[in-house]
Structure 1
Amino acid sequence: MNKDIDNLFKDTVLGHPAGLFVLFFTEMWERFSYYGMRALFVLFLISSVTDGGFGWAKADALSLYGTYTMGVYLTPVFGGLIADKLLGYRWAVIIGALIMTLGHAAMAVETPLFFYIGIGCLMLGNGLFKPNMTSIISYMYKNHEEKKDGAYSIFYMGVNAGAFLGIMLCGYIGENYSWSWGFGLAGIFMFIGMLQFYFTQNIFGDIGLPPSKLKELNLEAIGKDGDQDFVEKPQEEEVSQKVVIDRLIAVGVFCIFTVFFWAAFEQAGGSMTIFAEEYTQRNLSGIYGTVFKYVDALLTILPLGIITYVLYLLFKKTFAKFAIGNIILSISFIVIWGIVGWKISVDFSKESVEVPATWFGILNSLFIITLAPFFSKWWESKYNLSGTMKYGLGLLLLGLGFGFLAMGSQGIVAGEPIVKVSMFWLIAAYLFHTMGELCISPVSLSYISKLVPAKWIGLMFGVYYLFIAMGNKLAGTVGSYIEEIEKAYSISGFFLIFTAIPIIAGLIIAGMSPLMKKLMHGVK
């Protein structure tokens, strides 16, 4: 098996195995579909029946959104186990992608029954897909630990590229033309990602085969840690039971504060989208409209151009052996370039432009791509912060982001003509939220892998995802009170809640830094 893994590094793209970029594009199209659908989810439900939506109350729409995002984080706990014991990583990815394709297709029917069926399929499919993609990467780099951080960085770029394009294009088509076309586009590219992976899967050799097949080949089953979206824990010395308990308590503290973070951060797909739709001035004309058209076009073309170049490099290395998979992937890019060209031409043909409410969702991916290298350098410098202080800073930045929304919405009074506020407030909020995410999300995964005994890592990552699921459900539940709080106080008061709670939580965990240092017993 080790020899088989080493063979992967004989055929490289940008210094990494070509197989990594097969995973890159598969994940990119899956994230395209997930975030494209997520951008439309609440807007579709609250839109009037005459506008093609369901005409739901905001409270009901946001509650369902919370339930859906909770399910997305619950099902991978079981998906990793099913792959380990029965399907293997590769078939888990393929079946999961197919189930998600069916889910998107069901949502495109636009009836309540099929909408619920679609949501169920997306949660189940994600459970099989999400943990096993990262498990393949983890095993590919088993003998090349020095390259693993770079591999995950490349993979993470695929995640953000897919989110960026999915929100921009599915959101644009769904809002301006047809909800069905928006949901349908998400499903089409999910299906393309699945086909590309299916026809190119042999590039991974024996990695990810079902346990029964590995047994036939006399190979040891791999990856018993489930979802390995982290840097693997090195072999550790025996530690006392008290040290283990203390470190598990520290993990528990991080998990609890994770709930506060995601309960606020996930307003992006709910109340913040509603704020963009109803309270943000999105009609731009004159010089402002012209500038936005050019900025929007560049923001779309430049990332897509870079990714297309990566596709070209992969094409050169793998076409001879995996022609069908490469042709499918190439067709997907021809289609996406056609959609982008059509979108840009339509926008430039208009005298003024209405910025889609879903457009603001791309800012998170854009800011991650821009800022991640700076944060990475910071964490490697002598000014690096402890994990506890990073958590505190992340929550503080998140709260400040909502502070911009609370400040910008002060002139909005319930029951009076709706005031439209500047786009600046949402842009500033997403900037600070993204900086908060960069302080917390990667740090959480890293510290769990460092603090937990190796034999419990899989279990504790499952527990960690349960806390994220709780945060996502809480986001929908609290967000569902937006109208009640707006009527009783104001929309500014609603966002002040999400300003105060993360800041208070951030100050509390930062103040716990000395205690957490003792509990972690030397882990930095």
Structure 2
Amino acid sequence: MSGAADAQVGGPGGTEPSARKSDTLPKDRAFFGQPLGLFTLFGTELWERFSYYGMRAILLFYLTDTVANGGLGIEQTSGEALVAVYGSSVYLLSVLGGWLADRFIGARRSVLYGGIVIAAGHLFLTVPQASFSFLGIVFVALGTGLLKPNVSSMVGELYDRDDPRRDSGFSIFYMGINIGSLAAPFLVGAARAVGGYHWGFAVAAIGMAIALVFFVAGRTYLGGAGDVPPNPLNPGERPAVARLLVVVAAGVVLAFALAALIQGGFGLTSFIDAISYLAFAAPVATFVVMFRSRKVTDHERTRLRAYIPLFVAAMIFWMIFEQAASTLASYAQDDTDLTLFGLTISPELFQSINPAAIIVLAPVFAWLWIRLDDRPPTAVKFALGLTFAALSFVFLAGASWLADGAKTSAWVLIVVYVIQTVGELCLSPVGLAATTLLAPKAYRGQAMALWFLAPSAGNAIAAQVIQSTPDVAPAAYFGVIGLVALVFAGGMFALAPWVTRHIRAGADSEAEAALQH
């Protein structure tokens, strides 16, 4: 996803980054009027996202292609579910990565270590052996979890809190994400066409190596951003943290044991189920802890209840949106006419449509919200975002049904991705703002972790739906999911006035409350 979930503003735990000292980078405007450190982080994130989306663009095809063609020969449904649960694990691990940076190692070292682990993972994927491939996938997920939530927090630390360049700096950084994710399927796909899957993974590895070069060589321009954990662990907290780690470890062991028991042994399906259980349990546990905490007032619990519909809407939205690399990738390969303007295109190129649409449409939406005085309110934007995501699947189902077994035009998938991008621009940019506003004050620092759990759970839902519908035709599969999502969107529209009232009640000032028109 090249949208806002890739570029959250704030610290790794959702906190606003601590302001730098005014003399750290005095009047630095060397990069489009921005601190030169932004160039370091812009280049790092551009190439890291290039490597991530490049690998993801061909991952399903590699997993499910025959061994004779250089793939792993995994059954199609299992491959799609594995890709979905891989996305789920990345977001789960991002919560851990943000916490480690926040309390132990700082954002800079988290990004550096994460980048090294990602590069190692891509190198493992270049080895034509199944064991190395799975090891590489695990390494990329672990490294992304360390890196993903912390680069954006370092961008925030380049600016004083009142620096007027702050928003434009994040806009430039956000553009780097989309440039990387736009270019990746083209270059990685070309390498796959020339030399096979492992050449494609090698290009992704080169991208991550360039990202590391940018980050290490540009450290001097960062002015100490991310060097110090913003909330370091003190000795008195160690027993509580140790207990927390034991509980989390026990939960992981329980999830895998339960999955193995249900499946009658441990294998790919039980692994997918175990990660899904963890992704479902994490937000439930987080909400339970917040509701039961003595630090949360009755007034804050009322606000927190208003966040639950928003979280569910986001979860269903990401369940649809994140299938770009799983079921939609399969549809591109098996059910789409890959001829466009007289040229034959590769199926992975469709995954460049979203970042291309983001680059074109994001300024339009920014202008639109200004013209509408930031109307409609947050809850309605969530409902609109989910509606567009649902309609994208309904549209695809209709096109597939009309094709009656024949392949649909490439334009069908292009329209699907553009519709989803419109939905993303309605929902994703306001998601973290709503999260930080409605979370109890004692948990504001963990708001980003809570937001990351929505796409994690959404991916897990997708993995389970995919596993449960192995023989369902595309028209039925996409149609039922789209219609169910429309029902949820209707529910979100109905609840919007109630949610808006509670968001206003949760505002810290009258001016902030007035933003919810």
The normalised TM-score by structure 1 is 0.77
Q: Which amino acid aligns with 2:367?
A: K
- Per the alignment, residue 477 of structure 2 pairs with 494
**Aligned CA distance change for structure 1 residues 253 and 5 (closer, same or farther; 3 Å):** farther
Contact 2:339 2:410 in 1 (8 A): no
Counterparts of 1:337-376 in structure 2, within 5 Å, are 353-376=343-366
**Aligned CA distance change for structure 1 residues 484 and 2 (closer, same or farther; 3 Å):** closer
Counterparts of 1:18-417 in structure 2, within 5 Å, are 18-211=36-229, 241-284=297-340, 288-289=341-342, 353-382=343-372, 384-411=375-402
2:419 counterpart of 1:432: yes
- Counterpart CA distance in 2 for 1:476 and 1:185 is 28
Contact 1:261 1:471 in 2 (8 A): yes
- Counterpart CA distance in 2 for 1:193 and 1:406 is 39
Contact 2:307 2:499 in 1 (8 A): no
- Counterpart CA distance in 2 for 1:278 and 1:8 is 56
1:515 to 471, 495, 498: 498
Shift of 1:135: 1.3
- Counterpart CA distance in 2 for 1:8 and 1:69 is 40
- Which secondary structure does the structure 2 equivalent of 1:12 belong to? coil
- Counterpart CA distance in 1 for 2:494 and 2:384 is 11
Shift of 1:443: 1.1
Q: Which amino acid aligns with 2:501?
A: K
Q: Which amino acid aligns with 1:269?
A: A
**Aligned CA distance change for structure 1 residues 74 and 481 (closer, same or farther; 3 Å):** same
User: CA-to-partner distance for each residue in 1:374-403, whole Å, 9 max, x for gaps?
Assistant: 111222223621111101111111111112
- Which secondary structure does the structure 2 equivalent of 1:16 belong to? coil
- Using the aligned pairs only, state the percent identity: 31
- Counterpart CA distance in 2 for 1:502 and 1:374 is 26
Counterparts of 1:462-481 in structure 2, within 5 Å, are 462-481=449-468
- Counterpart CA distance in 1 for 2:302 and 2:158 is 33
- Counterpart CA distance in 1 for 2:194 and 2:400 is 26
- Counterpart CA distance in 2 for 1:421 and 1:468 is 29
Contact 1:243 1:521 in 2 (8 A): no
- Counterpart CA distance in 1 for 2:400 and 2:138 is 36
- Which secondary structure does the structure 1 equivalent of 2:471 belong to? helix
Contact 2:357 2:421 in 1 (8 A): yes
More moved, 91-100 vs 455-464: 455-464
**Aligned CA distance change for structure 1 residues 49 and 5 (closer, same or farther; 3 Å):** farther
Contact 2:21 2:160 in 1 (8 A): no
- Which secondary structure does the structure 2 equivalent of 1:9 belong to? coil
More moved, 459-468 vs 3-12: 3-12
Q: Which amino acid aligns with 1:476?
A: A
- Counterpart CA distance in 1 for 2:379 and 2:23 is 37
Shift of 1:509: 0.4
- Which secondary structure does the structure 1 equivalent of 2:218 belong to? helix
- Counterpart CA distance in 1 for 2:351 and 2:21 is 44
- Counterpart CA distance in 2 for 1:243 and 1:33 is 45
Q: Which amino acid aligns with 1:97?
A: G
User: CA-to-partner distance for each residue in 1:97-116, whole Å, 9 max, x for gaps?
Assistant: 01000001111213221122
2:447 counterpart of 1:460: yes
Give unmatched runs, 5+ long, in structure 2. Answer: 1-18, 234-294, 506-512
- Counterpart CA distance in 1 for 2:26 and 2:191 is 40
Contact 2:107 2:229 in 1 (8 A): no
- Counterpart CA distance in 2 for 1:3 and 1:424 is 51
User: CA-to-partner distance for each residue in 1:198-220, whole Å, 9 max, x for gaps?
Assistant: 121121122221459x99xxxxx
Contact 2:314 2:386 in 1 (8 A): no
- Counterpart CA distance in 2 for 1:31 and 1:113 is 25
- Counterpart CA distance in 1 for 2:119 and 2:368 is 40
Shift of 1:144: 3.3
User: CA-to-partner distance for each residue in 1:174-205, whole Å, 9 max, x for gaps?
Assistant: 24531001011101110111122112112112
- Per the alignment, residue 301 of structure 1 pairs with none
Shift of 1:143: 3.1
- Counterpart CA distance in 2 for 1:521 and 1:146 is 26
- Counterpart CA distance in 2 for 1:402 and 1:370 is 22
- Counterpart CA distance in 2 for 1:145 and 1:511 is 39
- Per the alignment, residue 279 of structure 2 pairs with none
- Which secondary structure does the structure 1 equivalent of 2:380 belong to? helix
Q: Which amino acid aligns with 2:108?
A: R
User: CA-to-partner distance for each residue in 1:124-183, whole Å, 9 max, x for gaps?
Assistant: 111211111111112222333432221211111011000001122112322453100101
Q: Which amino acid aligns with 1:464?
A: W
- Counterpart CA distance in 1 for 2:191 and 2:44 is 22
Contact 2:102 2:229 in 1 (8 A): yes
Contact 2:318 2:454 in 1 (8 A): no
Contact 2:120 2:139 in 1 (8 A): yes
- Counterpart CA distance in 1 for 2:503 and 2:203 is 47
- Counterpart CA distance in 2 for 1:281 and 1:460 is 43
Contact 2:122 2:205 in 1 (8 A): yes
**Aligned CA distance change for structure 1 residues 89 and 240 (closer, same or farther; 3 Å):** closer
User: CA-to-partner distance for each residue in 1:430-468, whole Å, 9 max, x for gaps?
Assistant: 110000011111110111122234542222321221222
Contact 2:47 2:211 in 1 (8 A): yes
